[in-house]
Structures are given as structure tokens and as C-alpha cells.
A and B are shown apart, each in its own frame.
Chain A
Amino acid sequence: MLLTLENINTYYGLSHILQGVSLEVDSREIVTLVGRNGAGKTTTLKSILGIAPISSGRIRFQDTDISALPTHSIIQKGIAYVPEDRRIIPGLTVRENLKLALMKSKNRDREEEMIDRVAQYFPILKDRLKQEGTSLSGGEQQMLAIARALVTDPEIMLIDEPTEGLMPLLVETIAEIIQTIHSNGVTVLLVEQNMEMALSISHRAYVIDEGRIQTSGDARAILNDEEIACKYLAV
């Protein structure tokens, strides 16, 4: 297994957010974590990254225990993060946003080459390297957020709500991009509220509700299971 979460518990203050979450992601998979707003999806990603540290349980990446590592060390091991709301850093150009991601990665000496490579995925960014990142449109900012993760050539990308607030046409584009990234050898752990999109491009899925994994299995089977949809995913 590439990434394994064993029975992790995470608290925000006194609130017990993740209550014994276990999940696995194998190399070359696209795995989706679906669930309602507030179910614990984003917290799961933040726990993997040490942003919301776990209080018990274990997180393993490529057979190394990363549970107690600080965020920057976890990222340096080959995990890339595309956060909710994109979090493009204000005041920095598109190029500077990409450069920042490259600084501590294994590709730090290949800045031009790596930026060229991600520009193939996102030609629109290539023309805007000197523009301030936050001046881009919502969809372009999402592409920059994905490019910023991709530029480090990660083993796995954790992508949080990439289609949030985007128009339907762009949702399709993002889905295609994730599939292309995957076909180039990157494993993806996706968190989405747009479960139709997410489940249609994923291999497997976990359904989370109230901080617990309720069920898991083949993504298409979950997509077609009306009972699951009613019980855990209906708004």
C-alpha cells in the first residue's frame, strides 16, 4: 500500500472529528472520499498532512510511519496537497507560486523544465507566469493549485474539493485533468462533494459520515447504490 490510515482519531479542541478512520490507497489508484459537508473529509486530508494532528492511530506512507512528522517533512516525502479554496498565495506571481512548491522538492534544480512540463497540462498558465496568481479566474486558480502540486512530481496528490464553485464545463475539465495526471503515474486521493464526477473517475471510494468510514468499495457500485446515496450523501 502507498498510503494507509489505521484507526486515526482527530480532535479540534474538544470536538472529536475523526473517530477511528481507516483507509488505504494503493499505487496508481484514484480513491475518493465522499460524504456530506462536515463529515470529516477535509479533516482526513489535513490529518494525513499533519495540519490537523491525530491524537491516536497511525498513518503510513510507503512503509514509513509519518504520523508524528511535521507538515513540511510529510510533503517532502512525495505527497502533494491541493487545498480547498485553492489557497493561491496573494502577492506572488504564477511563476513564484510554482517556484515555491519546487524549492524543497526533488526537482528544485529543474525549475524551467518542470514549469514547462506543467504548462503542457495547463497552457493557459504558461501565458500568465508573470501575472499575480490571485488575479486569475476561479477555474484558472484551481488549475494553478493543481499545477503547484504537480510540479513537484509527487507520488500521491491529495485533492480537496477541486470543483467547488466552478461552472459545469470546468468541472468536466478538472475531471479530465485528474484522469490525465493519473494516467501519467500519479496516485490521487480525492475529496469531493460532487460525487457523480468524483465516483465516475475513481477506482474505489470510501463513504464518510460523522467522522467514521461507513462503507467502502468499488466507486461505480457506490455511485449506483441508492441506499448509500440516501443515507450518507443526500444533502
Chain B
Amino acid sequence: MEWTAIVMQLFTGLSLGMLYVLLALGLSIIFGLLTVVNFAHGAMYMWGAYAGVATVAITGNFWLALLVAPLVVGGYGLLVERTLIRPLYGRDINYPLLLTFGLQFIMIEIIRIFWGTSDYPFQAPEALSMPLEIFGIFYFPAYRVFVIGLTVVICFVLWFFLERTNLGLIIKAGTRDSLMVKALGIDMGRIWWLVFGIGSALAGIAGVLAAPIRSVFPEMGLAMLVECFVVVVVGGMGSLKGAILSGIIMGEAIAITTLFYPQMADIVIFLVMAVVLLIRPSGLFGRAGLLE
């Protein structure tokens, strides 16, 4: 096998990994602060893709879709937190889990009612449809390079927000001891609301970014949700560093397995999870006792 094929496959793995990273970051930031296991995250990803489909159908503008999808899904997340999740704080962790588990099926059904059950094609924008020469050795779809680049930018913005702003400091502190943060005079309710919105928006942008690579259909979030839970668990529940590293590892694991032993590609991430958890039960960057 030519080594350029391997390098190319590594690039493919990276672009897939970036979708995992975006989704896992959203799941992880929500879990880390709110201890809500958001089972509707996959459906939010799917809604992001449909928001993209709708925006492109109306305006013909992909770039606008890239903006509309996170806004719509993020706004929806704010609404869900305020009306459905907030009344469940202080109860067992299973309550929001069951609620969002049911919510995802309602979200899927709504899409089936309005858009039907078949796939929607979604074209990458004209400007990104040509292949790009990488290191002068192979050609790679420009759109996938764009996905990688945009995710890196989003990760950097998120890092800057969490590490360099007052709000980020509150979120970081709230992840460790939200009761003490309240006892320092800070309204954690508003912070939880905001973080749920940010996590949802990340799912929305992942959805619209995935649309030209994977097809758009009502159940597209189901498999993705399971894979992203694996990514989050391997990275360490609530760890953003872990979500990024684990997302990339999983994308590459799938890509490389597809090249050498495609029959295993669908289950390789579960194998990686088993191995990681055997060695580090709380994941790569997990903190012991997060749920205690």
C-alpha cells in the first residue's frame, strides 16, 4: 500500500474526528457543569443539519447556514433547559437523562412529520467543492480541510472563553463546586442555562458541518450519539481536553481500521474504549469522584 494512501486516510480520520470533537465538547461541557447526561444531543446534531438544509433551501447560502444552525439549536437548547431540565435539578441524575432520552424521539418525529423519512442531499459550497493539494503529495477535499480548520478555531475560541474570561472562570469553578460558587454570590442558574445553550449550539454546528459529508436523515444523530458517548467516556467525563484528544483518536481509529480491515471499522471505537477503561477507569483525563 502506498504511504500517501495512509496519510490521506489519516486526514480523513482527522476530519471525522473533528465532528466527534465538536459533539463531545458539547456533551462534556454540559455534563461537567450540570451533571446532565444529554441524550438529546444526537437529535440536536440532526436538527443542526436540518436547520442547514432549510437555510440553504431558502437562501442558497451555505455560510449563512453555518451561522443559523448553531443559533437555532442553541436557542432551542436554552428553551429546553429553562422549561424542561431546570425543574429536575437537585434530583437524581437519571431524571434529566430519561427526559432527554424521550425528547430525542420527539425531535426525530417532528422532523419526520415535516421533512419525511428520506435522505436530503446537501452540497458543500461551491468554493469548497474542489480538491486541495496537500503537501504536494495528494489531493484532499477542500471541504474536509475546512471542517478541520473551523473545528480548530472553535476549540481555540472555547479555550479562550473558558481560560481567559470571568464567565469562563465561573464555569470552571462551577464544574468543581457549584454550591460554593453560589455561596460566593454567583447565580449558577443563569450559568447552567448559558452552558446548556453553548453545548447545544456546538451540536448544531457539528450537524451542519457533517451534512455535506454524511447524508441528512431523521435518525442521523442516533448512531452519532452512541459514538460520542464513547468519545466522552474515553476522554474522561466532563474533561474538555479529554473530549478533544479522544475525538481525534476515535476518528483516526475508524479511518485506519477502514483502510486495513474494514469489517472492524464499526466496532473499533468500542475496542479502544474497553482498552482505555481497563487501564484508566475514569478515562484519559477523567477525575475520580466526579459523580459522587
Contact = CB atoms under 8 A, between A and B. Distances in A.
Interface of A: 49, 51, 70-73, 75-76, 81, 83, 87, 89-92, 96, 99-101, 103-105, 148, 152
Contact of A89 (B166, B181, B185, B188): B181
A64 B177 CA distance: 29
Contact of B172 (A71, A72, A91): A91
B57 interface: no
Interface residues of B, number: 18
A90 B176 contact: yes
Main secondary structure of the interface of B (DSSP, over half): helix
Given A100-B170, A103-B170, A76 B185 contact: yes
Given A75-B185, A89-B181, A100-B173, 19 more contacts: A51-B182, A70-B182, A70-B187, A73-B187, A75-B183, A75-B184, A83-B180, A83-B183, A87-B180, A87-B183, A90-B177, A91-B176, A92-B172, A92-B176, A96-B169, A100-B184, A103-B184, A103-B185, A104-B186
B179 interface: yes
7 contacts: A72-B182, A87-B180, A87-B183, A90-B177, A91-B172, A99-B169, A101-B184
Contacts of A101: 184-185
Contacts of A83: 180, 183
B177 A89 contact: yes
Contacts of A87: 177, 179-180, 183
A92 B173 contact: yes
Contacts of A105: 185
A191 to B, nearest CB: 15
Nearest to A49: B183
Contact of A71 (B173, B176, B183): B183
A72 B176 contact: no
A104 B193 CA distance: 18
Contacts of B185: 72, 75-76, 101, 103-105, 152
Given A70-B187, A90-B176, A100 B182 contact: no
A71 B184 CA distance: 9
A46 B241 CA distance: 35
Contacts of B181: 89, 100
A72 B177 contact: no
Nearest to A148: B184
A103 B173 CA distance: 13
A200 to B, nearest CB: 28
Contacts of B183: 49, 51, 71, 75, 81, 83, 87
A175 B186 CA distance: 29
Nearest to B181: A100
B182 A71 contact: yes
Contact of B186 (A81, A92, A103, A148): A103
A117 to B, nearest CB: 17
A105 B184 CA distance: 9
A89 B176 contact: yes
B112 to A, nearest CB: 41
Nearest to B167: A103
Interface in B179-216: 179-189
A159 B202 CA distance: 42
Contacts of A71: 182-183
Contacts of A81: 183
Contacts of B187: 70, 72-73, 104
Interface-central residue, B169, B170, B180, by most chain A CB under 10 Å: B180
Contacts of A148: 184
Nearest to A78: B185
A49 B180 CA distance: 11
B176 A100 contact: no
A175 to B, nearest CB: 23
A141 to B, nearest CB: 13
Given A71-B182, A89-B177, A100 B188 contact: no
A223 B188 CA distance: 41
Interface-central residue, B166, B180, B184, B187, by most chain A CB under 10 Å: B184
Given A72-B187, A105-B185, A100 B179 contact: no
Contacts of B179: 51, 87
A90 B185 CA distance: 18
B184 A104 contact: yes
Contacts of A72: 182, 185-188
Nearest to B174: A89
Interface-central residue, A75, A89, A101, A105, by most chain B CB under 10 Å: A89
